[in-house]
Amino acid sequence: MLFPLLSTVLFATLSIASLQIVPGASITATGTNQHLQAHGGSITYTNGLYYLIGENKLNGSAFQSVNCYSSADLVQWAFVGELLSVGTSGGDLGTGRVVERPHVLWNEGAGEWVMWMHIDDSSYGEAKAGVATSDSICGTYSYIIDKLSSDYLTVESATYLWANPASFEASAIYKSGDTYFAFASHESGWAPNDNVYCTATSLSGPWSSWALFAPSGTDTYSSQTAGVVEVDGTVMYFNTFLSQKQANKQTSSIVMCCVDKEQNNEVNWILNSNSWSTGPSETTPEAEASTNTLSGGAEVVACSGCSGSKSVGYIGGSPGGKLLFPNISSSVATTTTIRIHYTNADATQRYASVVVNGVSHVVAFIPTPDDNTPGTATLTVPLESGSANTIEFEAYNGGWAPNIDRLMVPVS
């Protein structure tokens, strides 16, 4: 779904109004053909790119690696590499350990990147902080196990301690003007809750009382705080989408929302010209429409939660089922983000080769609660002006693709 980043010159010539940030969607990274593995991550902007650094949970919840992805637009992400990985000699980075919520910052004096993270055993009985360093933001990090160096690598004194601090986790701090904003989650296991924030003009306090920053009862749109970052003057809250289906974390997705006084979430966002707006007008072609072509055993199946109460299943597999959407319209020639509504009742990701105007792209589809509750995956691709665009779903490496409900295609 995600593709090599366009050069600055080329990108400047394209319409980018329909590149969409889709909270909670399945996002396929260039270089892995897998859904992003950056749980509990942090976003850092440097040298003209955004870097997403987080936990790899592809094969379960125990420590596997800390991954780094890069993006020029927060929509298309490319895998850069593993910053830390499981060591053979045990210790904090050994098999079965817990390494969570990595955050990096640049130390000007030392001339290196410093990573802080949560280190623990499988029973969460240690609750330690870990430190690692690297010469480059997505280079190999050296884990500090003995004497710590100066600046960012030691704690001189406690600045502030909240009352009953054990009641909160997943914290993030952001400064706007003279005001600090602290965000945090209550503790509720893998179940989401209504996250909170407070403010102060000094890190040493006094801090205001905790208050909600998303509507009460939404469980912060089924997510938990990971970080807050400023993007071209707009504050963006990003977090990990949580559900009981995704309790092992390997298929959890990322929610990115603009932070404003209205506290609203949207199905999709566009970040352009230093402002956030909701997604563009779309056409919504149905998978079961009579104008589509089903072949190789693909067939219409019942889906109570799908649009029209139907979807198309049996795509891929040994029969080689295919689903073709002809006559996809776009009013301009542009690179755009298409949303795919699908179901995948498996416990692991499914994959599909999605052929757009003759060019094949691999898309990962994380599990949905069942085959009657659609999820969303994104595909960012070029479309031609007019109604002659085609999109076809078929097998990837002979496997079964998800059931397809419908597409959401921006008209411009």
Q: State what percent of residues in the chain have pLDDT above 90.
A: 53
Residues β-bridged to residue 361: 354
Look at residue 250 and tell me whether its pLDDT is greater than 70.
no
> Please, what is the Cα angle at 254 between 125 and 250, to 5 degrees?
55
CA distance 165 to 172: 14
Task: Tell me the CA distances in angstroms from 117 to 84, 86, 132, 174, 397, one per residue in order.
Answer: 11, 15, 9, 18, 37
pLDDT at 244: 42
pLDDT at 227: 72
CA distance 324 to 404: 11
pLDDT at 202: 87
63-80 average pLDDT score: 95
At residue 175 the predicted structure's pLDDT band, cuts being 50, 70 and 90, is confident
Look at residue 238 and tell me whether its pLDDT is greater than 80.
no
Peptide linkage before 402 cis (omega within 30 of 0): no
pLDDT at 265: 61
At residue 189 the predicted structure's pLDDT band, cuts being 50, 70 and 90, is confident
Q: Report the run of H or E that residue 274 belongs to, with start and end.
A: none
At residue 9 the predicted structure's pLDDT band, cuts being 50, 70 and 90, is very low
202-226 in b/e form (b: 16+ CB < 10 A) is eeeeebeebeebbeeeebbbbbbbb
Look at residue 350 and tell me whether its pLDDT is greater than 90.
yes
- Which of 94-98, 159-163, 285-289, 379-383 has the weakest average pLDDT? 159-163
Give one DSSP letter per residue of 16-63, joined into a string.
-TT--B-TT-B-BPBTT-SB---EEEEEEEETTEEEEEEE--TT-SS-
Look at residue 249 and tell me whether its pLDDT is greater than 70.
no
CA distance 144 to 127: 17
Domains of the chain: 27-276 (2.115.10.20), 282-410 (2.60.120.260)
Q: Look up residue 9 and give its DSSP letter.
A: H
How confident is the model over 28-62, as pLDDT tens digits? Answer: 999 999 999 998 888 899 999 999 999 999 988 89
How many CB atoms within 10 Å of residue 247? 13
Residue type, 170: A
Q: Are 239 and 225 in contact, with CB atoms under 8 Å apart?
A: yes
CA distance 99 to 122: 10
Q: What are residue 56's phi and psi, to 5 degrees?
A: -85, 115
Strand ranges for 273-321 from DSSP E: 275-278, 282-283, 293-295, 299-302, 310-313
Give one DSSP letter per residue of 99-165, joined into a string.
EEEEEEEEETTTTEEEEEEEEE-TTS---EEEEEEESSTTSPPEEP-SS--SSSSS--------SSG
**At 219, is the secondary structure helix, strand, or coil?**
helix
CA distance 42 to 233: 18
> Please, what is the Cα angle at 30 between 25 and 36, to 5 degrees?
40
Look at residue 148 and tell me whether its pLDDT is greater than 70.
no
At residue 157 the predicted structure's pLDDT band, cuts being 50, 70 and 90, is low
At residue 246 the predicted structure's pLDDT band, cuts being 50, 70 and 90, is very low
73-102 average pLDDT score: 91
